[in-house]
A and B are shown apart, each in its own frame.
Chain A
């Protein structure tokens, strides 16, 4: 049973990363006004919403199974309060931050007609940060990081998000040079940082120990 829970946590986390990547892609497609006769815009908007809700479902299982299983000492509070867990506090905490952000983004989007477009839009910019946070969490907490399939998944998700962010920055519309340059610079800094950090951290042997894994979890041996 414990094994099942532990595997579910990892699997649902990976599926959630895939879903969130899809959500970012669809969100950017909406923002750059992609769509037309073949792919109606309301379909893109609807998929953006539904994929988010499905992703939240996977995340609920992801957090729930992580709490229930007894390999990793994670409790209910760790699912909402970041950086307090005994298990890899920083990297798990980033997942919690991403989860909380996603919840806020979802609720404010569902109540968008009440909140108003401007406030909603400002909040929604944090969606990009939410994805990056979730991504770093996946690498920093995941116990499968150096498995080829996971590397492929993370690589593809990262490349896809990078591509749509570039598309978003270059998209036609109001020129706002400063804003675009700022966004490009931020993206570049984040990219360099994430690559540098993963090469030196999770992609090198011994990460589990350095990340703060208590000695009794099964994957702390040998990794």
Chain B
């Protein structure tokens, strides 16, 4: 399975709302302070990942093609 997308976090903007991790637990887990740790986004989760990007309260997430 190819993994063509990845999420990027702007740690300065992120306020640890954890909304993204609720939406996308397969890709985003929270560290002990409630800040997200990201893994690559498989194709089938792309639309959910886009929604996490759009719904993050501080717009701290971005999605981009994996290099």
Query: CA A40 – CA B52 in complex, angstroms?
Result: 13
Can you list, as one digit per residue, whether each of A197-215 has a CB less than 8 Å from chain B (1) or not (0)? 0000000000000000000
CB–CB B54/A117 < 8 A: no
CA distance A33 to B17 in the complex (A): 7
Q: Is the interface of A mostly helix, strand, loop or mixed?
A: helix
Residue pairs across A and B with CB atoms within 8 Å: the count is 30
Q: Number of A residues contacting the other chain (C-beta, 8 Å)?
A: 12
Chain B nearest CB: distance from A123 CB in Å? 14
B side interface size, CB within 8 A: 14
Find the B residue at minimum CB distance from A117: B59
Distance A117 CA – B13 CA, assembled complex (angstroms): 10
A117 to B58, Cβ gap below 8 A? yes
Tell me if B45 counts as interface (CB < 8 A to partner A): no
**Closest residue to A37 on the B side, CB-wise?**
B22
**Bound-complex Cα distance A112 to B51 (A):** 12
Tell me which residues across on chain B come within 8 A of A113, comparing CB atoms.
Answer: 53-54, 59
Partner of B19, one of A41, A112, A116, A117: A41
Q: Given A30, A46, A116, which contacts B59 in the complex, CB threshold below 8 Å?
A: A116
Closest to B48 in A: A42
A residues neighboring B (CB under 8 Å) = 30, 33, 35, 40-42, 45-46, 112-113, 116-117
